[in-house]
Every structure is written in C-alpha cells, then in structure tokens.
C-alpha cells in the first residue's frame, strides 16, 4: 500500500518468482479458479484452459523430462480446480462435469446473479469452503451487450441493466475475492486454518472489450462502451489498492464469435471485418493464452495492465 501522506509505496512488497524454467510458471495445479459467465463462449474457453492438463499423447514425454533431478515435476500443465458461474445457461452443469472428467480436476457449476453483492459474496464464500479453503484466481467475465442503438432513444431501464451487470457485477466479484486474498496473504492459511501451500498472490482478471478503447462503427452502443472503459480503469485502480496480496488486470477482446454478438446483422459484420486487419472474428479459444498468462506466476510483474486481443482492429 502507498503511504497516504507521500504516495510512496513500500519497497519489495511483492516478490518475484525464483529464477528457473518458464513453463512451470504457468502451472495452476492445486489452485482454485472462479470464472463467471462461463456457461459458454469466452468464459467456458477460459475454464477449459485453467483446468487442462497434458494430453495422453504428451504426458509420457513430459513425465520422462520431469524425472530428471533439475527439472520440476509440474512442467507444462495448468491443472487448476475450477468453479464456473452461470446466470441462466444450465448447460454449464454439463460443461462442469465434462471439464472434471476430461482433465481430472475438480469443477463445479454455480448459478450466481452477479448484480447483487450479497449473492456474489455468499457464492465466493461457498466456493472457498467447497474448494479446499482457498481461492487463487477470479475471472470476472459476466457481461451483457447494448442492442438498442442510439442512447438518446434507448430505454433507461436497459442502460441500468447493462451497467449493473458489466460494472457493478465486476466490482462485486473483485471485492468478494479480494477479501479472501488479503486474509490468505496475512495469515498464510486456508479458511479452515490449514497451511496454505503454493499461494503467491491473488489474480483478478476482468473481461473488458476493445470497445472500452474505441467507438465501434457502425454500431451505436455508448452504454456498453462506457461500461467496459469503467472496467479497465477499475482494474488499474485495484492494482494499486491491492499491492501486497493480489494483482488486477483486464483483457479487451475484439469481435469474438460468441452469443454476445449474435444480435449483430450479417451486413454489419461485413463492415467491421473490413476494419480488422486479420479480416475475421476471433474464436474464444484464441483468448485462452492471455487469460492463462495473467492467472499464473508467469505474470508476476504484470499489474494494472489491459491486454487488447482484437486481430489488430485498434491498430490503424
């Protein structure tokens, strides 16, 4: 934390990992991750990335490599236990079971309405109890679009709903997770008093959007754009407030093939594809790497950053 009088930070309040190989830094084995809005799309892809362990084809080779004394045993695997949140998409229940059976990690789906603080707080507390008394990573991915065109003619009720989910929901998730991260760092124990192993710092990752940086055309979606700009700046501010026990970053995807953008007419999609240097929408799977990076110790010095993944839309 910064000195309230001088604004100066305490030195060396977040330490670097020990020097060594890079791949082990990406391991999430034994950690607990929560991903909201994970019934489909980006959130589901992230949940798979966090839970994924080596395939049957690669595991024998990795096991052989790790048998050497100087090579760590947890090489090239993520392997986190994952709690996925959904609002109305009950397919999340099947997806959680699939992740658990496919990767051999614990995965459970929870129905959570992120627009209510008490609901978010209680859900996080429940997950901490269910998942070995700890939380390490929270991906605040829940979000809804503005489909009403110009703000001047759009319903104010819809504006309030978008802001409630995209901004309030993100901040509620951040607060609920950070309360545990602060205690875990101070006490060094799980919620039931056992030694907390392999906990470095909490990692909060919010899904923003390139729309928090630019104004989309020909779409008119001021409310959505404003909500995502707020998320980016919130993470920057939290990165400063949480120094010592957690990092906060955001990811700003461009046009990704998900249900969130299904309302956009085909002719409009042709227009925005003209503005993307890669000439296409992204796939949810193309975001896995950036979320895994930010969640892991590989990002130990990445704090208060927003990473744009948009196929180059914001470049020209």
Q: Is the pTM of this model over 0.85?
A: yes
Do 272 and 221 form a contact (C-beta atoms < 8 A)?
no
Annotated active-site residue 31? The verdict is no
Using a 10 angstrom Cβ sphere, with 0-12 exposed, 13-18 middle and 19 or more buried, the burial of residue 68 is exposed
| In the predicted structure, residue 165 carries a pLDDT above the cut 80 | yes
| In the predicted structure, residue 72 carries a pLDDT above the cut 60 | no
| In the predicted structure, residue 63 carries a pLDDT above the cut 60 | no
CATH 3.40.50.720 for the 23-309 domain, yes or no: yes
Mean pLDDT of the chain: 91
Which residues, 6 or more positions from 106, have their beta carbon under 8 angstroms from its beta carbon? 81, 82, 100, 131
**Which pLDDT value is given to residue 4?**
65
> pLDDT digits over 212-248, tens only?
999 998 989 999 999 999 999 999 999 999 999 999 9
Annotated active-site residue 142? The verdict is no
> pLDDT digits over 293-307, tens only?
999 999 999 999 999
86: three-class secondary structure by DSSP: strand
From the list 31, 185, 228, 288, the catalytic residue is 228
Q: Which two tokens stand for residue 154?
A: 């759009």
From the list 86, 172, 224, 291, the catalytic residue is 224
Annotated active-site residue 201? The verdict is no
* CA dist., res. 201 & res. 181, Å (int): 7
* CA dist., res. 51 & res. 268, Å (int): 36
The CA-atom distances, in angstroms, between 197 and each of 16, 133, 247, 278, 302 are 17, 11, 18, 43, 22
From the list 191, 208, 209, 250, the catalytic residue is 209
SS percent in the chain: helix, strand, coil, step 5: 40, 15, 45
């Amino acid at each position: 934390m910064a000195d309230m009088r001088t604004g100066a930070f305490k030195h060396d309040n977040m330490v670097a990992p020990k020097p060594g190989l890079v791949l082990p830094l990406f391991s999430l084995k034994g950690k607990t991750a929560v991903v909201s809005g994970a019934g489909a799309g980006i959130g589901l892809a992230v949940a798979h990335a966090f839970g994924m362990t080596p395939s049957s084809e690669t595991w024998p080779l990795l096991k052989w490599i790790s048998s050497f004394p100087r090579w760590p045993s947890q090489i090239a695997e993520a392997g986190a236990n994952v709690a996925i949140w959904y609002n109305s998409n009950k397919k999340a229940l099947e997806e959680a079971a699939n992740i658990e059976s496919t990767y051999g990690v614990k995965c459970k789906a929870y129905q959570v309405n992120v627009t209510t603080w008490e609901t978010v707080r209680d859900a996080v507390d429940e997950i901490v109890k269910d998942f070995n008394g700890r939380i390490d990573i929270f991906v605040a991915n829940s979000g809804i679009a503005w489909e009403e065109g110009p703000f001047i003619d759009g319903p104010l009720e819809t504006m309030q709903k978008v802001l409630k989910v995209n901004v309030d929901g993100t901040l509620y998730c951040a607060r609920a997770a950070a309360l545990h991260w602060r205690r875990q760092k101070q006490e060094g124990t799980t919620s039931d008093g056992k030694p907390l192993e392999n906990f470095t710092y909490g990692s909060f990752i919010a899904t923003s959007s390139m729309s928090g940086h630019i104004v989309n055309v020909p779409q008119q979606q001021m409310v959505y754009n404003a909500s995502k700009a707020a998320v980016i700046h919130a993470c920057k501010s939290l990165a400063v407030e949480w120094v010592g026990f957690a990092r906060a970053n955001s990811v700003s995807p461009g046009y990704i093939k998900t249900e969130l953008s299904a309302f956009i007419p085909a002719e409009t999609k042709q227009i925005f594809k003209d503005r993307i240097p890669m000439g296409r929408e992204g796939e949810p799977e193309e975001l896995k790497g950036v979320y895994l990076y930010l969640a892991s110790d590989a990002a130990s010095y990445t704090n208060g950053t927003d990473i744009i993944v948009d196929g180059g839309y914001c470049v020209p």
